[in-house]
Structures are given as structure tokens and as C-alpha cells.
With several copies, the nearest count.
Chain A
Amino acid sequence: MTKVIGLEEAISKIKNGMTIMVGGFIGCGAPSQLLEEVCRQEVKELTLIANDTGILGDAMSQLIVQHCVSKLIATHIGTNKETGRQMSTGELEVKLVPQGTLVEQIRSAGAGLGGILTPTGIGTIVEEGKQKIVLNGAEYLLELPVRANVALLNAYKADKVGNLVYRRAARNFNPVMAMAADLVIAQVDNIVEIGEIDPDEVMTPSIFVDYIVQKQSQEVTDLG
């Protein structure tokens, strides 16, 4: 009942026009090899949901550079100038969302909530088009769930049934996105046998994860 599959097969499940969520924060904890394969398979017209679009030159940024993405939902695009360029020419539709709002929207989808009320964005253009609810004199925006067809994640360790463990700041959006997509694919540094991860050590329960891809060690991660 192993969920381990090959890189090419895993990414072949992503079709043109799909909505994908990608973990990572300016490259840290982003599933770089899955993203490279998305580019290689020339998947197009994707809607991308991610914190950012990486740093120009990294795997995440290539999704934009190679025009795989036609619509982007992100919190920050300042580290990849190509994103801003495509936005200004109209090649790429961009929706910017506060980071804490985006993560709660994704969590809402994963947790079966209809949405959450947040004070973030009140009095700003983030309000536009949203329902405002006043409670005890305080204003909140109703932010709706955000989910995807596919989530692409990066983890440090997995067992063969798909329990995931992340490391340090590479955790970021990965565990939340694991809950909010129809198909969840994780790129993993270390794959271990079932039972080798203590139940309390698991950060993403196996049932959220559909496929695991062994990360190829092309770069050395210094754990110093």
C-alpha cells in the first residue's frame, strides 16, 4: 500500500487548466523537483496558489517564467520580477492576499468551514467585494475557503503510507495545503518504512497525502 511513485508519473496527473497549490516560502520548503517537472511537462493555464513566486532563477520562479501559470493567488511577488512584469502586461492575472488570510482560507477549505472572519484588511482595498460583518462594534471581513485540484508539497521525511514530517522553516504552508486539495503530492528527502515515524512526530497525517516522490539528492542540504 505504498504511495511512492515516480516523478514523471506523479506530475502527469496535473492537467492544463487545473488549480494547484504549492508549499514554500521564498523557495524554502518549496517542492523544487516537482515544479521543475511541471515545467518540463509544459503544463499550461494553471491557477497557482502559493505564498510567493520564488526568487528569479529558482524552480518556483520558472513556473512563471515559462508561462505555465495564467492566474496567481499569492501574498508577495517582490522577489520575482518576472511576475510583476507579466502582471503589468496582462499576461498574468494576479490576486494579492494577506498572508494570514490566505493560510486561513486554505485551512477553511481543508477543515470544512464555510469561511472565517478576520480583522485583517479592514480599511484597505482588500475589503473590495467582500462581505463585512460587525460584531460588538468591531469590523471583520468574511474570507471564503480556497482549495485546489492538486497540492505540491515538500517534506523532510515520510513513511510509505504518507505521514509527513517537515523541518524548521520549511514547514510553512505545506501542512495546511495538504488538507485542501483533491490530489496531494509530496516531494520527500527521506522515505522510511511504516512504523518508523512515531505517531507524535507526524505533522501531516497520511490520509491527506496521495503520492510521495523521492527527492533526488542533487544539492547537499547542510543540517549544520
Chain B
Amino acid sequence: MDKEARMEWLVKRVAQEFKTGDVVNLGIGIPTKVANALPDGIKIILQSENGYLGVGPAPEAGREDSDTVNAGGQYATILPGGCSFDSATSFAIIRGGHVDATVLGALQVDEEGNLASWMIPGKIVPGMGGAMDLVVGARRVIIAMEHCAKNGGLKVLKKCTLPLTAAKQVNLIVTDMGVIEVTLNGLRLKEIAPGLTFEEVQACTEAILIKPDKVAV
């Protein structure tokens, strides 16, 4: 598979993590694409932390509503059965354990499930927005990201070096190279992307990966 095909595989693979009725918050970027890759028959309820449930597809041209935008600021829609609320309720939903899963990007993840995603000191400091609450509050935290940085730098580490978004909260890491489960014994490479070998994934990973055939703890 080329890079594009592997990114597509990633998105589809994340989409398989849900069952109908799950309340899911998708981060900006790769995670957003998961909404369009759900298996047939699976219907999830998307939450947008700026204040509504039932995120629908982007509106048709000419049907944009400036009051209905997603957490990335893009025009969106609300599906029938959806509802809007203020930020206090939105984060009560998030922090209170009412979100079944969140899918977020990352700068670094490590073998303890620590996540760094919100700043590179002295370089870019966009802020954490709602990410810290999402990672602490969602029942499952799924990281969806490219396995390596654009410059080839490693992102799945023994220990994060950047400021954390949250400690020990990540459950699953899905990259263009495979699916990694965070276990008490470390990172278990649960699935390998088509065409790759365990050794190839390990070579791009600082943390020591546990082989897929080992039983998870």
C-alpha cells in the first residue's frame, strides 16, 4: 500500500471501533474523517464540544448556517434527534463519562498511555482547547495519527518528551502502520497494516512493542 492507502486504512480501522449508539467526539484533522468511514449499519452519535450532539454532514453550498459550526469552526449540520447546549453542559457530558470514545491526533504517545498533543515549547502553543477534558473524561481514548512525524521523528515513545495533555489515559493508538493497544505491560501491536511486518513497525517505534500473538493484559 502507498501512504494514501495506508491513511485510508487507518481511518477505516478506527471506524471499526464503534457500535451503534456510541457517543463519540472526533478531534480535528484525521479523526474527523472517521465519521465518513463507518461500517454499514453502524450509527454513532457525534458530539461537538462547542455545544451540540448529532453532528451531521457538512451542509450543501448555500445552506450554511453561521450558528452551526463544528469545533474546528467549519460549517456543519445537526441531525434530527440532535440537540444544542452551552459549554458547561458540553463539558459535563465530556468529563462526566457520557462520551463513549474520543478520537484525537497526537504529537507523541508513550507506553504508559501518556499523551502529548497541545504544544511544542518555544515553537507552537495553540492551547489545549477541550483536549485535556476529552482525554480524561471519555471512556475510551483512541489516538489516530501518522506513525511518524513528517520529518521522520518517532512519535510512539518510551516516554513523552513534550508537555502532556493527560497522563495514562490513552487506550488505543491507530496509525498508518498498525493498531497498538496500551496495556499494563506496555504497548501491544494488536494489528499490523497490510503489507508491513512487525519488524518494520518496531523500527519506527521507540517503545518496545509486544507481538500481536501475545495475549493482552
The A156-209 residues at the B interface (CB cut-off 8 A) are 156, 159, 161, 163, 166-176, 179, 194-195, 197, 199-200, 202-203, 205-208
Question: Is B30 interfacial (CB 8 A cutoff)?
Answer: no
Q: Number of contacting residues on B, CB 8 A?
A: 65
Q: Tell me the smallest distance from the CB of B200 to a CB of chain A, in Å.
A: 32
Chain B contacts for A173, CB-based, 8 A:
86-87
Q: Tell me the smallest distance from the CB of A210 to a CB of chain B, in Å.
A: 11
Question: Is A1 interfacial (CB 8 A cutoff)?
Answer: yes
Q: Once bound together, how far apart are the Cα atoms of A25 and B66, in whole Å?
A: 12
The interface-forming segment of B103-111, B124-132, B179-187, B208-216 is: B124-132
Q: Would A55 and B73 count as touching, CB distance under 8 A?
A: yes
Question: Is B31 interfacial (CB 8 A cutoff)?
Answer: no
Q: Tell me the smallest distance from the CB of A44 to a CB of chain B, in Å.
A: 24
Chain B contacts for A175, CB-based, 8 A:
86, 88
Contact with B along A82-108 (1 / 0, CB 8 A): 001001000000101011110110010
Beyond A120-B133, A222-B63, A224-B63, is A206–B87 a contact (Cβ under 8 Å)?
no
Q: Once bound together, how far apart are the Cα atoms of A99 and B72, in whole Å?
A: 14
Q: Once bound together, how far apart are the Cα atoms of A150 and B43, in whole Å?
A: 26
Q: Would A124 and B67 count as touching, CB distance under 8 A?
A: no
Q: Would B128 and A75 count as touching, CB distance under 8 A?
A: yes
Q: Once bound together, how far apart are the Cα atoms of A153 and B60, in whole Å?
A: 29
Q: Would B81 and A159 count as touching, CB distance under 8 A?
A: yes
Q: Tell me the smallest distance from the CB of B94 to a CB of chain A, in Å.
A: 6
Contact partner of B50 (CB less than 8 A), chosen from A25, A101, A121, is: A25
Contact with A along B167-210 (1 / 0, CB 8 A): 11000000000000000000000000000000000000000000
Q: Tell me the smallest distance from the CB of A141 to a CB of chain B, in Å.
A: 11
Q: Once bound together, how far apart are the Cα atoms of A29 and B90, in whole Å?
A: 15
A26 closest partner in B (C-beta) = B73
Contact partner of B51 (CB less than 8 A), chosen from A111, A118, A169, A221, is: A169
Question: Is B153 interfacial (CB 8 A cutoff)?
Answer: no
Q: Would B65 and A222 count as touching, CB distance under 8 A?
A: yes
The A38-53 residues at the B interface (CB cut-off 8 A) are 51-52
Q: Once bound together, how far apart are the Cα atoms of A113 and B78, in whole Å?
A: 28
Q: Would A170 and B67 count as touching, CB distance under 8 A?
A: yes
Q: Would A96 and B125 count as touching, CB distance under 8 A?
A: yes
Q: Would B163 and A124 count as touching, CB distance under 8 A?
A: yes
Q: Would A100 and B91 count as touching, CB distance under 8 A?
A: yes
Q: Would B86 and A174 count as touching, CB distance under 8 A?
A: yes
Q: Would B80 and A195 count as touching, CB distance under 8 A?
A: yes
Q: Once bound together, how far apart are the Cα atoms of A99 and B53, in whole Å?
A: 17
Q: Would B45 and A207 count as touching, CB distance under 8 A?
A: yes
Chain B contacts for A207, CB-based, 8 A:
23, 45, 53, 93, 98
Q: Would A205 and B89 count as touching, CB distance under 8 A?
A: yes
Q: Once bound together, how far apart are the Cα atoms of A219 and B65, in whole Å?
A: 12
Q: Once bound together, how far apart are the Cα atoms of A78 and B52, in whole Å?
A: 22
Q: Once bound together, how far apart are the Cα atoms of A26 and B171, in whole Å?
A: 30
B53 closest partner in A (C-beta) = A205
Q: Tell me the smallest distance from the CB of A86 to a CB of chain B, in Å.
A: 12
Query: Closest 8 CB pairs between A and B?
Result: A123-B167, A78-B126, A195-B80, A100-B91, A100-B133, A112-B95, A202-B83, A111-B92
Residues in chain A within 8 A of chain B (CB atoms) = 1, 25-29, 51-52, 55, 74-79, 84, 87, 94, 96, 98-101, 103-104, 107, 109-113, 118-126, 156, 159, 161, 163, 166-176, 179, 194-195, 197, 199-200, 202-203, 205-208, 219, 221-224
Contacts beyond the supplied A119-B95, A169-B50, A199-B52: 14 A-B pairs with Cβ under 8 Å: A27-B73, A28-B69, A98-B132, A100-B95, A100-B130, A111-B95, A124-B132, A159-B81, A172-B90, A202-B85, A205-B89, A206-B45, A222-B62, A222-B64
Residues in chain B within 8 A of chain A (CB atoms) = 20-21, 23, 43, 45, 48-54, 59, 62-73, 76, 78, 80-98, 114, 124-133, 136-137, 163-168
Give 13 pairs: A residue, B residue, CB < 8 Å, sorted on A.
A28-B67, A77-B125, A78-B124, A87-B125, A100-B95, A109-B96, A110-B92, A111-B96, A112-B92, A126-B128, A174-B86, A194-B81, A224-B63
